[in-house]
A and B are shown apart, each in its own frame.
Chain A
Amino acid sequence: MTMNTQGRPTTPESVSMSSIETVSGSRGLLQAEGLIFEIGTPETTGVDLPAPKGTKNRLGGVARKQPTGLPGLSEPQAVRHYMRLSQKNYAIDLGLFPLGSCTMKHNPRLNEKIARLPGFGDIHPLQPQATVQGALELIDELATWLKTLTNMPAVAMSPKAGAHGEFCGMMTIRQALIARGEVETRKRVLVPESAHGTNPATAVQCGFIVDEIKANKRGRVDMEDLKAKLEKSDDIAGIMLTNPNTCGLFETDIKEIADLIHEAGGYFYCDGANFNAIVGRVRPGDLGIDAMHINLHKTFSTPHGGGGPGSGPTVLSEALAPYAPVPFVVKDADGMFRLVEDIEGVASESFGRMAAFHGQMGMFVRALTYILSHGADGLKQASEDAVLNANYVQARLKSVMTAPFDGYCMHEALFSDAFTAEGIETIDIAKALIDEGYHPMTMYFPLVVHGAMLIEPTESESKAELDRFCDALESIARRAAQGDEALKGAPYLAPMRRLDETKAARKPVLKWEEPVVAPPVAAE
């Protein structure tokens, strides 16, 4: 016998590689994995606890009757369970994640390390304040950065996500109207039809009535429509406007809009979801806004975590600052930081408390770490790169896809489905991108553009990554223009084929239940 000196043989040409079924259901590195309810038992555990002493309980009979029956897994089983599941997810750490309006930028690992320092991760919100001076100082320091970057005099730090920040901003407006004695009469809030769904939902949650304003042919607020809506102005509470807007465009007339709203006696709420386009280039406070939330989980890189947690600090103008929610941090004359938690004294005009405790501290730590790493110069460069990357994508794709508006974009490039052949839809293009190894762009949003495809590459992408992405999308776009029916079946190469969402909603199965074993058929 001699050693094979040329390595192991490769697959012979005669062997077909097509659709191989496996016994296990796994496909190579992609492991099949059942639900914990199918692989665990209630007796199994991955946590070793000391035996209880057997003290007589003092629950006074208020004790659970039915055990939960929930399964446990040993540590190796649990680790594998989650590792196998993780591999069925796409993530920014794997590749470009061009979800428009979501700012899927790189999440620096230093942020994670710092957030896990015991002095931040292991402190209780109700510890004596003397024992958490560093935490309060951190909140104050982040607040200072946010106020300076926006040129706004105040910031409410407690909102827990973007929509919660919107809620905060609109509640301060409501409280200001209460102070003016006009909350019963000023009920109308103007919201562009291109707005995020959270905007109208938030306005209604605050007791306002939504009045939609149209977009013009350039994708901006239609000023004629706005002026018409403001003709009767004594019922105007304010406007909710995203800037840069959801078409990825800067609202050219924003200062005039601010002036018109103020003249009408209303307030200007700006949705700051797209702040990443302008950090260090434009300060929203210079545009006449009264309130704006900042998504720390977008602009300031705290991880999206599969749907949260977020954090939505909301900057406020002089006019709205007195109505900010509790709690907030103040620095006393002796240099000590203090939480103002009750509606009295400096907070006597506050609209109230939005949630328990003091906001998303874990996100504050990460955001401040990101901000200090970037500094004033890096933040500006990041925004410019984000905008440059989006314009590059727009320039590379506008000959094969349809750009609905002329001119440069901000940090996201928008396309409509006008270029596709009959029968091919935006969703088919999105799903085909999955086969190319990418997360799809935001689809069917904003609503003002037919079959919208909104692409936000962020500053985290190199030119080579952008080129690779544009090559893939260009090829898909050409197939879509030619009416390639194969697109309707995409994705073919993902862990799953297209999932039936209609079926899921028709008869919702929202938890696992023990399969019903069919009774044995009785002998006749």
Chain B
Amino acid sequence: MRYLPLTADDRADMLKTIGAKSVDDFYADVPESARLHGTVDGLPNHQGELAVERHMSKLAAKNRAASSGPFFVGAGAYKHHVPASVDMIIQRSEFLTTYTPYQPEIAQGTLQTLFEFQTQVAALTAMDVANASMYDGSTACAEAAVMATRATRRKKVILSGGLHPHYAAATKMLCEAQGIEVVQLEHAIDGELALADAVDDQTACLIGQSPNTFGTVTDLSPVAEAAHGKGALLVSVFTEAVSLGLVTPPGEMGADIAVGEGQSIGNGLNFGGPYVGLFACTQKLVRQMPGRLCGETTDADGKRGFVLTLSTREQHIRRDKATSNICTNSGLCTLAFTAHMTLLGGKGLEQLAVLNHEAACDLADALAAVPGVEILTPRFFNEFAFRTPMNAEAVLAMLDEAGIVGGVRASRLFPGDHMGDVILCAATECTTQEDIAAYAAALKEII
């Protein structure tokens, strides 16, 4: 077995040193009835690299990769170009195969990148502080809701009609387990501002999203004002991190907590995970934050270094009084994020955002020119919703036959909302003019 260094002689020698007859001695505490003799039934034995690769490649070949043709799916995960050096950096053994940096003297590599990551996320969201990541955007959103109830000592959160339904579901589940009331506003393409009318003096937070699931960008400043007027907080959500280069960021709208998905920067699609949850807030709320934080300090020689800090919020110290149960987060995905962001730089991100926006504008123009298509999203960054005169599922299936992955049917995310004829689609810097022309031409054929 190629992964096991012990030889039969080693094993015999070691048993002798230990004073045991066989490894069975070590399992003597296992109840007799639960001891297995031989290997587990119904499972094959070990295989060489070639055989495993063959098997896995067959499974991979049954999937259509986003790069293999015109591709327009967004709604929470986005097809972007990741520079080659990013993947090389995250495959460095010293980053890939190390643990959480609990021993800072031999983990400054990880810790410094986390400190840089936190600074980047704070700047991108225009917030005071950011943590070292959550699992993904949806769980970051759920944790933000719970954090708001802790900070305000109130038990009600209100979700906008454009919040990603998976984010809403994860938030609802976490909150309800803790006796927190969750109010979901009616699903709406351009309804984020309705949050302002819904707030009352029992509300812990309003959760709005821009760009929202339908792609609509909204200045949430009036929502922040309404929230603060009632002593509530604004949680501002985004699923497309590249938008932060161009669209009004949470901090400029008066958000108290900003959460979102960081996959777009540095991370591949990976069928939905692993991704990287971004979590930022105002200075005032920092001690209520969930998750790990990296901070600056000095060593015994007075040299600058970094450590995990404020861990008295966390489960390994506070146990049942912790701000969250989170332990493992998205370490390597934060490295991919921060490395890609460092390669881009502020100006590069801005330019990337403009390219995404222009691609989406071109796509919207091309689709709008198809008779029967109606663009529904009034203001967008790189994704929007449109109505077709036919059932969206049927349209997408026919596009698929033409080699085009045309988007997500809205009814998959909003079942029961009578959106059977609505498609959510996205364009990025990966989208070419040919892709757009092919989409419009195929759509014209179909409808």
- A287: nearest residue on chain B (CB-CB)? B34
- A161: nearest residue on chain B (CB-CB)? B328
Q: How many residues of A contact B (CB 8 A)?
A: 203
Taking the complex as formed, is B124 at the interface, i.e. its CB lies under 8 A from any CB of chain A? yes
Name, among A40, A379, A510, the residue most crowded by chain B CB atoms within 10 Å (CB to CB): A510
Query: Quick check: B103 and A68 within 8 Å, CB to CB?
Result: no
- Identify B307's interface contact among A33, A359, A380, A501, CB under 8 A: A501
Name, among A66, A79, A127, A445, the residue most crowded by chain B CB atoms within 10 Å (CB to CB): A127
Query: Quick check: A45 and B343 within 8 Å, CB to CB?
Result: yes
Query: Quick check: B322 and A197 within 8 Å, CB to CB?
Result: yes
Distance in Å: Cβ of A176 to nearest Cβ of chain B: 13
- List B contacts of A164 (CB < 8 A): 135, 139, 326
- Identify A297's interface contact among B10, B269, B328, CB under 8 A: B328
- List B contacts of A460 (CB < 8 A): 3-5
Query: Quick check: A125 and B6 within 8 Å, CB to CB?
Result: no
Distance in Å: Cβ of B39 to nearest Cβ of chain A: 4
**Given A198-B315, A378-B46, residue A89 in contact with residue B217 (CB < 8 A):** no
Query: Quick check: A374 and B3 within 8 Å, CB to CB?
Result: yes
Taking the complex as formed, is B98 at the interface, i.e. its CB lies under 8 A from any CB of chain A? yes
Distance in Å: Cβ of A450 to nearest Cβ of chain B: 18
- For window 86-145 of chain B, which residues contact chain A by CB distance below 8 Å? 87-101, 103-110, 112-113, 115-116, 118-120, 122-124, 126, 129-130, 132-133, 135-139
- Identify A385's interface contact among B6, B93, B339, B400, CB under 8 A: B6
- For window 64-112 of chain A, which residues contact chain B by CB distance below 8 Å? 64-73, 75, 78-79, 81-83, 85-94, 97, 99, 102, 104, 106-108, 110, 112
Distance in Å: Cβ of A145 to nearest Cβ of chain B: 7
Q: Of A8-16, A299-307, A476-484, which binds chain B?
A: A299-307
- For window 22-67 of chain A, which residues contact chain B by CB distance below 8 Å? 33, 35-37, 40-47, 49-50, 52-53, 55, 57-67
Taking the complex as formed, is A229 at the interface, i.e. its CB lies under 8 A from any CB of chain B? no
Query: Quick check: A127 and B173 within 8 Å, CB to CB?
Result: no
Taking the complex as formed, is B25 at the interface, i.e. its CB lies under 8 A from any CB of chain A? yes
Query: Quick check: B93 and A94 within 8 Å, CB to CB?
Result: yes
- B105: nearest residue on chain A (CB-CB)? A494
A159 to B37 alpha-carbon distance, docked (Å): 32
- List A contacts of B126 (CB < 8 A): 66
Distance in Å: Cβ of A503 to nearest Cβ of chain B: 5
**Given A89-B107, A378-B4, residue A47 in contact with residue B94 (CB < 8 A):** no
Q: Of B194-202, B227-235, B352-360, which binds chain A?
A: B352-360
- Identify B345's interface contact among A73, A97, A112, A360, CB under 8 A: A73
Query: Quick check: A308 and B98 within 8 Å, CB to CB?
Result: no
Query: Quick check: B44 and A352 within 8 Å, CB to CB?
Result: no
- Identify B107's interface contact among A90, A308, A489, CB under 8 A: A90
Q: Of A230-238, A260-268, A388-396, A515-523, which binds chain B?
A: A388-396
Query: Quick check: A160 and B135 within 8 Å, CB to CB?
Result: yes
- A170: nearest residue on chain B (CB-CB)? B177
Query: Quick check: B93 and A500 within 8 Å, CB to CB?
Result: no
A254 to B30 alpha-carbon distance, docked (Å): 9
Query: Quick check: B109 and A85 within 8 Å, CB to CB?
Result: yes
Taking the complex as formed, is B372 at the interface, i.e. its CB lies under 8 A from any CB of chain A? no
- For window 396-455 of chain A, which residues contact chain B by CB distance below 8 Å? 396, 408-410, 430-431, 434, 439-440, 445
A130 to B243 alpha-carbon distance, docked (Å): 30
Query: Quick check: A64 and B43 within 8 Å, CB to CB?
Result: no
Distance in Å: Cβ of A305 to nearest Cβ of chain B: 3
A222 to B337 alpha-carbon distance, docked (Å): 47
Question: Interface size bucket, B side?
Answer: 35 or more
A25 to B233 alpha-carbon distance, docked (Å): 46
Distance in Å: Cβ of A382 to nearest Cβ of chain B: 6
Query: Quick check: B345 and A70 within 8 Å, CB to CB?
Result: yes
- Identify A489's interface contact among B300, B327, B378, CB under 8 A: B300
- For window 168-222 of chain B, which residues contact chain A by CB distance below 8 Å? 169-170, 172-174, 177-179, 210, 217-219
Distance in Å: Cβ of A330 to nearest Cβ of chain B: 16
Query: Quick check: B295 and A504 within 8 Å, CB to CB?
Result: yes
- A189: nearest residue on chain B (CB-CB)? B320
Taking the complex as formed, is A123 at the interface, i.e. its CB lies under 8 A from any CB of chain B? yes
Query: Quick check: A282 and B331 within 8 Å, CB to CB?
Result: no
A354 to B405 alpha-carbon distance, docked (Å): 27
Distance in Å: Cβ of B32 to nearest Cβ of chain A: 10
- List A contacts of B294 (CB < 8 A): 510
- List B contacts of A102 (CB < 8 A): 99
Taking the complex as formed, is A1 at the interface, i.e. its CB lies under 8 A from any CB of chain B? no
**Given A117-B56, A137-B62, residue A197 in contact with residue B112 (CB < 8 A):** no
Query: Quick check: A396 and B252 within 8 Å, CB to CB?
Result: no
- Identify A510's interface contact among B136, B286, B312, CB under 8 A: B286
Number of CB contacts from chain A to chain B under 8 A: 704
Query: Quick check: B319 and A352 within 8 Å, CB to CB?
Result: no
Distance in Å: Cβ of B335 to nearest Cβ of chain A: 7
Taking the complex as formed, is B389 at the interface, i.e. its CB lies under 8 A from any CB of chain A? no
A117 to B97 alpha-carbon distance, docked (Å): 20
Taking the complex as formed, is A280 at the interface, i.e. its CB lies under 8 A from any CB of chain B? yes
- For window 103-143 of chain A, which residues contact chain B by CB distance below 8 Å? 104, 106-108, 110, 112-114, 116-128, 130-135, 137-138, 141
Distance in Å: Cβ of B432 to nearest Cβ of chain A: 11
Query: Quick check: B170 and A355 within 8 Å, CB to CB?
Result: yes
Query: Quick check: B309 and A501 within 8 Å, CB to CB?
Result: yes
- A206: nearest residue on chain B (CB-CB)? B177
- B116: nearest residue on chain A (CB-CB)? A36
Query: Quick check: B101 and A307 within 8 Å, CB to CB?
Result: yes
- List A contacts of B20 (CB < 8 A): 391, 408
Query: Quick check: A283 and B34 within 8 Å, CB to CB?
Result: yes
Taking the complex as formed, is B371 at the interface, i.e. its CB lies under 8 A from any CB of chain A? no
- List B contacts of A358 (CB < 8 A): 271-273
Distance in Å: Cβ of B51 to nearest Cβ of chain A: 8
Taking the complex as formed, is A149 at the interface, i.e. its CB lies under 8 A from any CB of chain B? yes
- List B contacts of A149 (CB < 8 A): 40, 43
Taking the complex as formed, is A269 at the interface, i.e. its CB lies under 8 A from any CB of chain B? no
Taking the complex as formed, is A272 at the interface, i.e. its CB lies under 8 A from any CB of chain B? no
- A70: nearest residue on chain B (CB-CB)? B346
**Given A120-B63, A388-B6, residue A430 in contact with residue B99 (CB < 8 A):** no
Query: Quick check: B252 and A65 within 8 Å, CB to CB?
Result: yes
Distance in Å: Cβ of B399 to nearest Cβ of chain A: 9
**Given A200-B320, A342-B415, residue A161 in contact with residue B327 (CB < 8 A):** yes
- List B contacts of A365 (CB < 8 A): 56
Query: Quick check: B299 and A380 within 8 Å, CB to CB?
Result: no
A32 to B399 alpha-carbon distance, docked (Å): 54
- List A contacts of B95 (CB < 8 A): 82, 86, 89, 91, 305-306
Taking the complex as formed, is B373 at the interface, i.e. its CB lies under 8 A from any CB of chain A? no
**Given A281-B36, A353-B173, residue A307 in contact with residue B328 (CB < 8 A):** yes
Taking the complex as formed, is B282 at the interface, i.e. its CB lies under 8 A from any CB of chain A? no
A58 to B246 alpha-carbon distance, docked (Å): 11
Q: Mark B244-256, 1 if CB is under 8 A from A, else 0.
A: 1111110010000
- For window 253-286 of chain A, which residues contact chain B by CB distance below 8 Å? 254-255, 278, 280-283, 286
- B127: nearest residue on chain A (CB-CB)? A511
- List B contacts of A286 (CB < 8 A): 33-34
- Identify B320's interface contact among A160, A204, A445, A497, CB under 8 A: A204
A410 to B29 alpha-carbon distance, docked (Å): 10
Taking the complex as formed, is A346 at the interface, i.e. its CB lies under 8 A from any CB of chain B? no
Query: Quick check: A63 and B246 within 8 Å, CB to CB?
Result: yes
23 inter-chain pairs at a CB distance below 8 angstroms, sorted by A residue, are A40-B342, A45-B348, A57-B361, A58-B357, A59-B217, A64-B249, A70-B120, A70-B123, A70-B349, A89-B109, A91-B98, A120-B60, A131-B400, A135-B59, A174-B177, A283-B36, A304-B97, A305-B332, A309-B328, A377-B46, A392-B18, A434-B106, A463-B5
Beyond A121-B269, A309-B273: 12 further Cβ-contacts under 8 Å?
A47-B348, A58-B361, A59-B247, A62-B247, A68-B346, A78-B85, A122-B66, A148-B41, A148-B43, A306-B101, A352-B169, A357-B273
Closest 10 CB pairs of A and B: A72-B345, A119-B60, A305-B332, A357-B272, A134-B62, A125-B272, A307-B331, A309-B274, A60-B379, A93-B93
